[in-house]
């Protein structure tokens, strides 16, 4: 690339750098983004299709989940990567609505392309989109309805809506109940504000059994076994000690050599060690605990002494699990045996070891008012449990985000249709070229009801026309009846979603689209360390042949 300066070309970029500018760059970026949106669009909604992903070692994932699809495909184009970012943000912020966000962003760009073809400058489009986004968020706020942790039936509907189409249809009722119970039990309020921590619901899966065996544990499941065969396998009214130090004799830091010259001495040495370990276990027992969960190791001999005292123990429990155990049982993690006291202990109605799909697991159940709970997903095959886990995540996080904001909306495309209608009306008050962009935004948002309508197999135009006129008549909760290919009141159908899905999807889609539209120059460094094509300058032709080729040349 060169600029003319006094007749001399000036090279400012290394040779081999790829550069696209102006319209060319814009349209290529838009094309890449549209392709991403198109790749997940058909999965939208309960009648959405599944995608089968095969990775480079032949592992197969079958899924309907937008985020999972995009996570598993590698994209090269920078604009495509920005689209993938949208789905990540949506996943992190809400945990659901990823397809919606990506499809909407794709449509925003498609409409922008039309406007640019009519010679409307991208900055005008970006400005119009920003205005539309802000207004859309205001409208959404007015359309949101209140919801509290007591509205169990509504929350279950949110869970079910989140799970539709995720391949776990058969056990949906059961899974929805589990999701709501889990989310509600970790919800608490601090200074009048609802606080929920996603990590407080641990979702575990184990292949085997059926989806119906999926259960909520008011406590924690840990992937551990009891350390000693003579320990009890279950303990009712468990008093739990959480320990973050080893029940072992510390090895000295500096390597000391102990010379033992007689069998007596050896005996003495062993006895001394054994006594030390015995004392340690006595201190643990003195706290009054009957279950010990240790983050570090437990010596074989210490295990033996604990077993003799009827204490159940597990060792090398993960740090993250220790934190959850503390929250669930009310225990405090003790850092040394010396400072251990009865006050540090936690409580669980039952601690038991059970064999699940051939592996031992420990269940810490029936905690009082647990601030952390577990869901154990079961299912016949690996694919079933995997997809059920994704469905469960969507459901739990969906319910959480509804509780967090305290608001829900009606789905099935009804909210988008209403939003579009109100935006279009509002745009008249704006006027100018921005009005065109706002209208384009309003049209773009209809991609959600349109895609749901297409997924029914009936004529999507009919469905959209009927929906539009229902909304004009004030039936704002009318959306797509995916099962019969018509329109229906989503309040009656029980299709409801957290408001946050929609606000976040609109925010991140609009922001990503604007960012892509503002780019008019794509400068791509040459891969492979910036070497110009053809290898290093100054290397003669024959040096670039392989040895065998050179042999032929010679
Ligand atoms: P996303 O990744 O965006 O969550 P989904 O495949 O989960 O994509 O589809 C979500 C869309 O499907 C939402 O617009 C939601 O309202 C709609 N939907 C879910 N269940 C139903 C239903 N029973 N009838 C109509 N629409 C539904
Ligand atoms: Mg969803």
Measured by CA distance, the residue closest to atom 23 of ligand 1 is 495
Alpha-carbon distances of 436 from 129, 131, 442, rounded to whole Å: 10, 12, 10
d(CA 101, ligand 2 centre) in Å = 11
pLDDT exceeds cutoff 80 at 4:
no
167 Cβ below 6 A of ligand 1: no
Closest ligand to residue 495's CA: 1
Give the 3-state secondary structure of residue 358: coil
Side by side, which strands form the sheet with 145-146? 145-146, 407-410, 496-498
d(CA 74, ligand 2 centre) in Å = 22
Q: How far apart are CA 133 and CA 150, in angstroms?
A: 32
Closest ligand to residue 167's CA: 1
Closest ligand to residue 68's CA: 1
Side by side, which strands form the sheet with 201-207? 201-207, 373-379, 215-217
What is the tens place of the pLDDT at every residue in 157-190?
A: 999 999 887 666 678 889 999 999 999 999 988 8
Task: Over range 303-331, report the average pLDDT.
Answer: 93
Give the 3-state secondary structure of residue 168: coil
144 Cβ below 6 A of ligand 1: no
Task: Show Cβ contacts of residue 153 under 8 Å, excluding neighbours closer than 6 positions.
Answer: none
Res 510: pLDDT: 94
Tokens of 553: 């040349």
Ligand 1, closest atom to CA 67? 2
Tokens of 190: 């601090």
d(CA 512, ligand 2 centre) in Å = 20
Tokens of 38: 């198109």
Closest ligand to residue 100's CA: 1
List for the chain the helix, strand, coil content (%; round to 5).
50, 20, 30
Measured by CA distance, the residue closest to atom 11 of ligand 1 is 45
What is the tens place of the pLDDT at every residue in 377-395?
A: 998 888 889 889 988 998 9
Q: How far apart are CA 93 and CA 238, in angstroms?
A: 37
d(CA 346, ligand 2 centre) in Å = 37
- pLDDT band of residue 346 (cuts 50, 70, 90) is very high
370 Cβ below 6 A of ligand 1: no
d(CA 449, ligand 1 centre) in Å = 10
Pocket test for ligand 1, best of 50, 160, 488, 495 (most atoms within 8 A of CB): 495
Phi/psi at 306 (nearest 5 deg)?
A: -60, -45
Pocket test for ligand 1, best of 391, 411, 463 (most atoms within 8 A of CB): 411
pLDDT exceeds cutoff 80 at 260:
no
Pocket test for ligand 1, best of 36, 41, 46, 509 (most atoms within 8 A of CB): 46
Ligand 1, closest atom to CA 98? 2
DSSP 247: B
Task: Show Cβ contacts of residue 390 under 8 Å, excluding neighbours closer than 6 positions.
Answer: 63, 65, 68, 166
What is the tens place of the pLDDT at every residue in 29-79?
A: 888 889 889 888 988 988 887 777 777 777 777 777 777 777 777 777 778
Ligand 1, closest atom to CA 40? 2
412 Cβ below 6 A of ligand 1: yes
97 Cβ below 6 A of ligand 1: yes
Among candidate residues 330, 365, 324, 323, the one with its CA nearest the CA of residue 219: 365
Tell me how crowded residue 333 is: count the other CB atoms within 10 A of its CB. Answer: 18
Residue with tokens 């359309």: 143
Measured torsion, CA atoms of residues 8, 9, 10, 15, in degrees rounded to the nearest 10? -150
* Strands 18-21 and 521-524, bridge-based pairing: antiparallel
What's the N-to-C CA distance of the chain in angstroms? Answer: 38
Q: At what angle are helices 447-455 and 98-117 packed, to 10 degrees?
A: 120
Closest ligand to residue 97's CA: 1
Give the 3-state secondary structure of residue 57: coil
What does pLDDT average to over the chain? 86
- pLDDT band of residue 270 (cuts 50, 70, 90) is confident
Res 532: pLDDT: 41
Tell me how crowded residue 4 is: count the other CB atoms within 10 A of its CB. Answer: 8
Tell me how crowded residue 116 is: count the other CB atoms within 10 A of its CB. Answer: 18
Say if CB 203 and CB 396 are below 8 A apart: yes
100 Cβ below 6 A of ligand 1: yes
Q: In the Cβ-directed half-sphere of 451, how many Cα atoms lie within 13 Å?
A: 26
Closest ligand to residue 409's CA: 1
What is the tens place of the pLDDT at every residue in 120-170?
A: 999 999 999 999 999 999 999 999 999 999 999 999 999 999 988 766 667
Beta bridge partners of 359: 356
Measured torsion, CA atoms of residues 111, 412, 489, 460, in degrees rounded to the nearest 10? 50
Say if CB 276 and CB 302 are below 8 A apart: no
Task: Over range 472-493, report the average pLDDT.
Answer: 95
Res 251: pLDDT: 65
pLDDT exceeds cutoff 70 at 407:
yes
d(CA 68, ligand 1 centre) in Å = 16
Pocket test for ligand 1, best of 67, 164, 447, 482 (most atoms within 8 A of CB): 164
d(CA 391, ligand 1 centre) in Å = 12
* Strands 60-63 and 51-54, bridge-based pairing: antiparallel
| C-alpha angle 468-470-474 in degrees, rounded to nearest 5 | 110
Q: At what angle are helices 414-427 and 447-455 packed, to 10 degrees?
A: 150
Q: How far apart are CA 81 and CA 338, in angstroms?
A: 54
Measured by CA distance, the residue closest to atom 1 of ligand 1 is 97
Say if CB 408 and CB 83 are below 8 A apart: no
448 Cβ below 6 A of ligand 1: yes
Ligand 1, closest atom to CA 65? 2
Beta bridge partners of 378: 206
Burial class from Cβ neighbours inside 10 Å (0-12, 13-18, 19+) for residue 289 reads buried
Q: In the Cβ-directed half-sphere of 123, how many Cα atoms lie within 13 Å?
A: 2
66 Cβ below 6 A of ligand 1: yes
d(CA 48, ligand 1 centre) in Å = 9
- pLDDT band of residue 93 (cuts 50, 70, 90) is confident
Tokens of 393: 């995540």
Residue with tokens 């992190």: 92
95 Cβ below 6 A of ligand 1: no
Task: Show Cβ contacts of residue 243 under 8 Å, excluding neighbours closer than 6 positions.
Answer: 284, 292, 293, 294, 295, 296, 333, 334, 337, 340
d(CA 197, ligand 1 centre) in Å = 25
DSSP codes, 88-150: HHHHHHTSS-HHHHHHHHHHHHHHHHHHHHTT--HHHHHHHHHHHHHHHHHHHHHH-EE--TT
Res 70: pLDDT: 79
Ligand 1, closest atom to CA 394? 4
Ligand 1, closest atom to CA 413? 14
pLDDT exceeds cutoff 70 at 252:
no
The number of residues in the chain equals 554
Say if CB 514 and CB 127 are below 8 A apart: no
Pocket test for ligand 1, best of 452, 477, 486, 498 (most atoms within 8 A of CB): 452
Beta bridge partners of 373: 201
Active site residues: 65, 98-99, 394
d(CA 162, ligand 2 centre) in Å = 5
Share of the chain above pLDDT 70, in %: 91
């Amino acid at each position: 690339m060169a600029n003319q300066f006094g007749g001399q070309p000036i090279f400012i970029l290394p040779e081999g750098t790829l550069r696209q500018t102006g319209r060319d760059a814009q349209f290529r970026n838009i094309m890449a983004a549209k392709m991403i949106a198109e790749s997940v669009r058909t999965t939208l909604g309960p009648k959405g299709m599944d995608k089968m992903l095969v990775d480079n070692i032949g592992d197969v994932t079958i899924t309907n989940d937008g985020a999972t699809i995009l996570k598993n495909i590698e994209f090269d184009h920078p604009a495509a990567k920005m689209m993938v970012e949208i789905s990540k943000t949506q996943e992190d912020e809400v945990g659901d609505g990823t397809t919606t966000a990506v499809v909407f962003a794709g449509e925003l760009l498609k409409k922008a392309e039309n406007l640019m073809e009519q010679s409307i400058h991208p900055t005008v489009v970006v400005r119009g989109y920003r205005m539309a986004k802000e207004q859309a968020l205001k409208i959404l706020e007015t359309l949101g309805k209140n919801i509290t942790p007591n509205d169990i039936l509504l929350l279950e509907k949110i869970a079910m809506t989140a799970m539709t189409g995720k391949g776990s249809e058969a056990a949906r009722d059961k899974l929805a109940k589990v999701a709501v119970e889990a989310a509600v039990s970790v919800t608490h309020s601090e200074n009048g504000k609802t606080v929920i921590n996603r990590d407080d619901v641990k979702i575990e899966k184990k292949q085997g059994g059926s989806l119906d065996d999926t259960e909520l544990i008011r406590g924690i499941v840990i992937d551990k076994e009891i350390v000693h065969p003579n320990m009890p396998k279950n303990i009712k009214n468990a008093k739990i000690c959480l320990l973050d130090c080893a029940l072992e004799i510390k090895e000295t830091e500096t390597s000391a050599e102990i010379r033992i010259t007689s069998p007596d001495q050896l005996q003495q040495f062993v006895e001394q060690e054994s006594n030390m370990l015995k004392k340690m276990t006595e201190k643990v027992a003195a706290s009054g605990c009957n279950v010990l969960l240790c983050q570090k190791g437990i010596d074989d001999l210490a295990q033996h002494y604990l077993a003799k005292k009827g204490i159940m123990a597990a060792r090398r429990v993960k740090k993250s699990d220790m934190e959850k155990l503390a929250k669930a049982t009310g225990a405090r993690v003790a850092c040394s045996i010396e400072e251990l006291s009865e006050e540090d202990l936690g409580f669980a109605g039952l601690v038991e070891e059970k064999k699940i799909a051939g592996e031992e697991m420990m269940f810490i159940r029936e905690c009082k008012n647990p601030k952390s709970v577990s869901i154990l997903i079961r299912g016949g095959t690996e694919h079933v449990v995997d997809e059920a886990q994704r469905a469960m995540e969507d459901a739990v996080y969906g319910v959480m985000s509804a509780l967090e904001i305290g608001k829900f909306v009606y789905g099935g495309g009804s909210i988008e249709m209403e939003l579009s209608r109100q935006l279009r009306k509002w745009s008249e008050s704006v006027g100018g070229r921005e009005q065109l962009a706002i209208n384009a935004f309003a049209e773009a948002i209809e991609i959600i009801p349109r895609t749901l309508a297409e997924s029914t197999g009936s004529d999507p135009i009919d469905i959209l026309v009927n929906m539009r006129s229902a909304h004009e008549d004030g039936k704002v909760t009318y959306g797509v009846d995916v099962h019969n290919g018509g329109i229906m009141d989503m309040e009656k159908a029980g299709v409801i979603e957290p408001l946050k899905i929609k606000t976040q999807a609109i925010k991140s889609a609009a922001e990503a689209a604007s960012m892509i539209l503002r780019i008019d120059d794509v400068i791509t460094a040459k891969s492979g360390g910036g070497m110009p094509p053809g290898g290093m300058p100054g290397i003669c032709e024959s040096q670039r042949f392989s040895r065998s080729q050179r042999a032929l040349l010679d």
